[in-house]
Structure formats: structure tokens, C-alpha cells
Homo-oligomer: A and B are copies of this chain.
Amino acid sequence: MSEMLPPGGTIGILGGGQLGRMLSVAASRLGLKVHIYADGPDSPAGQFAAETVIGAYDDEAKIAEFAKGVDVITCEFENVSAGALDAAAKGARVAPPARAFAITQDRLLEKQFVEELGIPVAPFVAVDTADDLRKAVEKLGTPALLKTRRFGYDGKGQVVVRKVNDAEAAMEEIGGQPAILEGFVKFDREVSVVVARALDGTLGFYDVAENHHQDGILSSSRIPANITGNCTYKAREIAGKIASALEHVGVLCVEMFHCEGDADELVVNEIAPRVHNSGHWTIDGCQASQFENHIRAIAGWPLGPTGRHSDAVMTNLIGHDVDRWPKLAADERVALHLYGKAETRPGRKMGHFTKISPKSS
């Protein structure tokens, strides 16, 4: 424990969004300070931090300078460049490690990495050209999903391919970027596991969330998921294996498909090397939230308890959903969380709310 960052130490966060905001608030509990690096003024995270530096996420000189003022640097989004992380590392310890970002920000590398661990993923083929795509469609059948290798999130950079002849159009739609084609998985529910991995490798697992998406964006999470105990065990095992193999430090989320049928088969869909929307319920349902455990892990502290004290249903407020805030504020069953974003835009995550109820089992 000689590497524990003592109270009074400073965490630097690249990213000024709601994840940075909730990380900052979690750091406040532990007596740590927070500096935010954001790409604009009045960011959700910058509103609750000791200092904010405004700069582009590819301004390596500015990031290196920012890092000099902090002890540990972390990131609220996965699409941080290797150059930015290198720049950050000149001034402070960086966690999670660069490798965790390198692998998870590229769908092809991510899938290969998971497959090599012996963990099931959806069938996939690398696709760089329309010709590749045609061959891939012949191999995987239709419908199939064409996804850019990089910069995809919340359903962006994805297109459904329904027949071989769609290949040209599909490649055009994703801007001809390097991609993968993914075969469809027949699943009856989507689940996710948020796992925290401490600097010494200790793992802490939150309960499995069952997630519902709308238009490719997470809409709600229910905890515990309606899956068997055996399946919960398997889901956590998969998440732990991935976190350990990445030598991850901090919180990581693995989204999985629970396949149709009674076999409790799980297929990994995506890894996020950070705190995750499907873990927001932990603020209200657990003693130590995913945000606190991310801060603990990157600060070299032992993990806090991940057990839940209550069942929870978390619902996102997307775009003008947030206009419901007066009604939600008056609903005694609701723990409301608003992110301090000045402008409401369609598809933008503006807040969430959690309903907790006595722990079921």
C-alpha cells in the first residue's frame, strides 16, 4: 500500500462530461482534489472541481502541462489517443494503462483480444473494402452489422447489412473506414458487469445489470438482472478475466448478450475501460459507487465494498426527457441526477434517475 495517494493529492481527469463530474464528486469523499481537462468552458465536471484547463483532446503539449499539476491522471472516455496518453504520462501516473485504451478503442483488436482469452464473442470478420464486405457477408450471412473499428459508441458508426448487394452503400455510409462485420447473435437480454480492479490486481464486482437500449443508446438498467446465479457467476468471471488480462487499473464495464435458450450462454459485445452508464445505479444502490472505486483504484487505494444494499432501476434522461425534471423531483421514489448541461440536444444524456427498493436476494 506504499503507493496510496494520500488525501490532499490531486486527480486529473481528461474529459469534462457527466462521468468526470461524478468521478470528481466521488473524489471529494476521499479527501482528494480534482483538476479537469475539458474541451470547453462550463463543463459538467468543471463545475465541481478545484481547477479546469480548457484545451483540445489532441493538444499534447497542453495535456503534458496539465499533467504536471496532478498526481494521477485518468480519462472519462475511451477514445483518447495514444499521443495524449503519452503526453499525460510525462507529468503523472496514468491509469487505466494505455494498453486498455488501445485495445478497447478498436473493435477488431477488442474482439481478437476477447477471443484469445477463450471468451465467446459474436462471429466477426475484418472489413476494409466493399469487396471485403461482400466476402464477409457470404461468410456470416445476413442480416449482419457493419461497425467502424474506431470511434463507435451509442450506436454510432454502425449499419445493418441485409444483402450482399448492399456492400457498396454500407461502406459508403460508414465513410469507407476500416471496419468489422459482425454476425447477429440471438439473445434474449443484454447484461453488463462493472468490475473494479485495484492497482494490486484485486477485483471487485458489482451486481449484474440488465440493460435496455433505445435507438442504440442505453435507456435503462435493472439490478439485479433476471438471470440465474450460475449466469451471474459466469458474467463476473468473464469481466474479471478481461480486466486482469488488460492489466486494467480502475473501473471497467463489459457488455454481454445473454443468448436465447436455457444454456446461460454469454457473448461479449463491448468493453468500456471506464465507469459506465449501466453502473450509475451504484451511487444510490451501493455503499461505494463505481465512481468511488475508480478513484480508489487509480489512487492506489484498496477497493470499497461493491455489494448492493438495495435493488435498483436506473433510467436515462435523454434529450428532452430532462424536461420532466419538476415531476421527477417531486417523486419520492426517485433519486434524481442532473448533469448540469446548459443545452438540451436530441440524443444527449442530460441526467438519469434511480429507483431503489429493498434488496431482493
Interface residue A329 (Cβ < 8 Å from any Cβ of B):
yes
| Per-position 1/0 for A300-327, Cβ under 8 A of B | 0110110001100000000000100110
A4 in contact with B284 given A25-B48, A28-B25, A339-B31 (CB within 8 Å)? no
A326 in contact with B49 given A29-B337, A30-B336, A305-B332 (CB within 8 Å)? no
Question: Looking across the interface, which residue of chain B has its beta carbon closest to that of A332?
Answer: B305
Q: Which residues of B contact A287 (CB under 8 A)?
A: 284, 335, 356
Across chains A and B, which 8 residue pairs bring their CB atoms closest together, nearest first?
A31-B338, A302-B330, A305-B332, A47-B50, A7-B338, A48-B48, A28-B48, A25-B25
Give the distance to chain B from A316, nearest Cβ to Cβ, in Å. Answer: 14
List residues of chain A with CB under 8 Å of any chain B CB. 1, 4, 6-8, 21, 24-25, 28-34, 42, 46-50, 284, 287-288, 296, 301-302, 304-305, 309-310, 322, 325-326, 329-330, 332-333, 335-340, 342, 351, 356, 358
Question: Looking across the interface, which residue of chain B has its beta carbon closest to that of A288?
Answer: B335
Docked-complex contact B50 and A338, CB < 8 angstroms: no
The contact of A340 among B33, B301, B356, by CB within 8 Å, is B33
Q: Which residues of B contact A309 (CB under 8 A)?
A: 309-310, 356, 358
- Can you list 7 contacts pairing A with B, beta carbon distance less than 8 Å? A1-B330, A28-B48, A33-B340, A48-B49, A48-B50, A304-B332, A309-B309
Q: Which residues of B contact A322 (CB under 8 A)?
A: 7
How far does the alpha carbon of A50 sit from the alpha carbon of B24 in the complex, in Å? 12
Docked-complex contact B288 and A302, CB < 8 angstroms: no
Question: Looking across the interface, which residue of chain B has its beta carbon closest to that of A340?
Answer: B31
How far does the alpha carbon of A32 sit from the alpha carbon of B44 in the complex, in Å? 10
Q: Which residues of B contact A302 (CB under 8 A)?
A: 329-330
Q: Which residues of B contact A32 (CB under 8 A)?
A: 340
Q: Which residues of B contact A21 (CB under 8 A)?
A: 28
Question: Looking across the interface, which residue of chain B has its beta carbon closest to that of A341?
Answer: B31
Q: Which residues of B contact A7 (CB under 8 A)?
A: 322, 325, 338, 340
A329 in contact with B310 given A21-B28, A31-B340 (CB within 8 Å)? no
Q: Which residues of B contact A1 (CB under 8 A)?
A: 326, 330
Docked-complex contact A30 and B330, CB < 8 angstroms: no
Docked-complex contact B8 and A326, CB < 8 angstroms: no
Docked-complex contact B340 and A8, CB < 8 angstroms: yes
Q: Which residues of B contact A33 (CB under 8 A)?
A: 47, 340
Docked-complex contact B301 and A4, CB < 8 angstroms: no
The contact of A4 among B34, B49, B50, B326, by CB within 8 Å, is B326
Docked-complex contact B24 and A48, CB < 8 angstroms: yes
15 further A-B pairs in the complex, CB-CB below 8 A; given A34-B47, A48-B48, A302-B329: A7-B322, A7-B340, A24-B48, A25-B28, A25-B48, A28-B340, A29-B337, A29-B338, A30-B329, A31-B325, A31-B339, A33-B340, A288-B335, A302-B330, A305-B332
Q: Which residues of B contact A340 (CB under 8 A)?
A: 7-8, 28, 31-33
Give the distance to chain B from A144, nearest Cβ to Cβ, in Å. Answer: 41
How far does the alpha carbon of A332 sit from the alpha carbon of B304 in the complex, in Å? 6
Q: Which residues of B contact A301 (CB under 8 A)?
A: 329-330
How far does the alpha carbon of A103 sit from the alpha carbon of B340 in the complex, in Å? 36
How far does the alpha carbon of A48 sit from the alpha carbon of B340 in the complex, in Å? 14
